[in-house]
């Protein structure tokens, strides 16, 4: 069995009891960054062996992992934070398990975009999860495509690109309401919703934007998603 186990996005109290139980009982934990995950595992007294599984080695180690799973070893997959497979490695391994008829169980748990969307106060009944925009090539055409989408849009963005991203939203999706959800579940959690130009002015006035960021873009006025 492969278990996909979400881990906290900032607050260790969000680790689920079932997640801890699974991480304790499996034969092996696959982690994106073993040093980052060691902190989490030590906190919960989990001594299960851990091995690196990330975007640079996932193709190479896939068949060995399937062999282990087919030899009846239970394995858990975690990422640095949140749910594996959501802007994190996971998809390739899960697909390979399905193809090899290995059972997969995905535990419900922390992920950044759900609390961001719900806290934003922007329409949450229908939405598009975009994740990270391309950094350079293809970024503008992606924003142009998103401009035609009539419901809320969720982006993951790094703090040092936040102002540039808001500038581009102001250009390609002018007048939209936007929410910047920063440092979710952490001590300095900060959720701000306003027009894109209001938020741009606010963040341009800050000396440095720190922490992790989810950006929600609301639907355009008069579109089906605008309530
Ligand atoms: N797998 C994760 C999930 O389930 O949300 C996402 C991993 S992705 C590599 C990391 C991005 O998630 C960050 O750049 C940020 O956009 C978002 N993120 C993660 N933790 C966050 C937090 N505490 N507050 C706001 N955004 C966060």
Place of tokens 């699974």: 22
* pLDDT at residue 200, rounded to an integer: 97
Per the CB < 8 A criterion, the answer to whether 159 and 186 are in contact is no
Q: What is the largest CA-CA distance in the chain?
A: 57
* pLDDT at residue 207, rounded to an integer: 87
- pLDDT digit string (tens) for 8-28? 999 999 999 999 999 999 999
* pLDDT at residue 215, rounded to an integer: 98
DSSP-assigned letter for residue 7 = B
- What's the rounded mean pLDDT across residues 108-137? 97
Give the mutation target among 214, 215, 216, 217 for probing the ligand 1 site: most ligand atoms within 8 A of CB.
Answer: 214
* Distance from chain centroid for Cα 118: 15
Q: What average pLDDT is seen over the chain?
A: 96
Q: Which residue stretches of 82-191 are H helix?
A: 91-99, 113-120, 139-147, 162-172
* pLDDT at residue 225, rounded to an integer: 86
Q: Which CATH class is domain 2-106?
A: alpha beta
Instruction: Give the binding-site residues of ligand 1, using a 6 Å CB cut-off.
Output: 9-10, 79, 81-83, 86-88, 111-113, 156-158, 181-186, 212-214
List the one residue out of 193, 208, 215, 50 whose CA is nearest residue 128.
Answer: 215
Fold of 113-226: 3.30.950
Domain ranges (residues) in the chain: 2-106, 113-226
- What's the rounded mean pLDDT across residues 114-125? 98
- pLDDT digit string (tens) for 197-222? 999 999 999 989 999 999 999 999 88
In the beta sheet, which residues pair with residue 81? none
- pLDDT digit string (tens) for 22-54? 999 999 999 999 999 999 999 999 999 999 999
Whole-number Å distance, alpha carbon 217 to ligand 1 midpoint, is 16
Residue 200: how many CB atoms within 10 A of its CB? Answer: 19
* pLDDT at residue 201, rounded to an integer: 97
* pLDDT at residue 221, rounded to an integer: 85
Whole-number Å distance, alpha carbon 33 to ligand 1 midpoint, is 15
Q: Ligand 1 atom 11: the closest Cα is on which residue?
A: 156
* pLDDT at residue 67, rounded to an integer: 97
> Is residue 227 scored above 80 in pLDDT?
no
List the one residue out of 189, 187, 132 whose CA is nearest residue 162.
Answer: 132
């Amino acid at each position: 069995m492969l278990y996909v186990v979400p881990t906290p996005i900032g607050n260790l109290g969000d680790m689920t009891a079932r997640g801890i139980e699974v991480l304790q009982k499996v034969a092996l934990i696959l982690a994106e960054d073993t040093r980052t995950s060691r902190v989490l595992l030590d906190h919960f007294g989990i001594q299960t062996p851990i091995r690196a599984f990330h975007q640079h080695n996932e193709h190479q180690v896939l068949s060995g992992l399937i062999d282990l799973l087919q030899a009846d070893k239970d394995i858990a997959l975690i990422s640095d934070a949140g749910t594996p497979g959501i802007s994190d490695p996971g998809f390739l391994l899960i697909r390979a398990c399905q193809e090899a008829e290995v059972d997969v169980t995905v535990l419900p748990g922390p992920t950044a975009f759900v609390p961001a969307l719900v806290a934003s106060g922007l329409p949450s009944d229908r939405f598009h999860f975009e994740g990270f925009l391309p950094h350079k090539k293809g970024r503008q055409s992606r924003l142009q495509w998103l401009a035609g989408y009539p419901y809320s849009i969720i982006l993951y963005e790094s703090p040092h690109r936040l102002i540039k991203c808001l500038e581009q939203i102001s250009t390609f999706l002018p007048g939209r309401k936007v929410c910047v959800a920063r440092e979710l579940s952490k001590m300095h959690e900060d959720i701000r919703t306003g027009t894109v130009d209001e938020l741009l002015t606010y963040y341009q006035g800050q000396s440095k934007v720190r922490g992790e960021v989810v950006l929600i873009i609301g639907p355009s006025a008069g579109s089906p998603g605008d309530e």
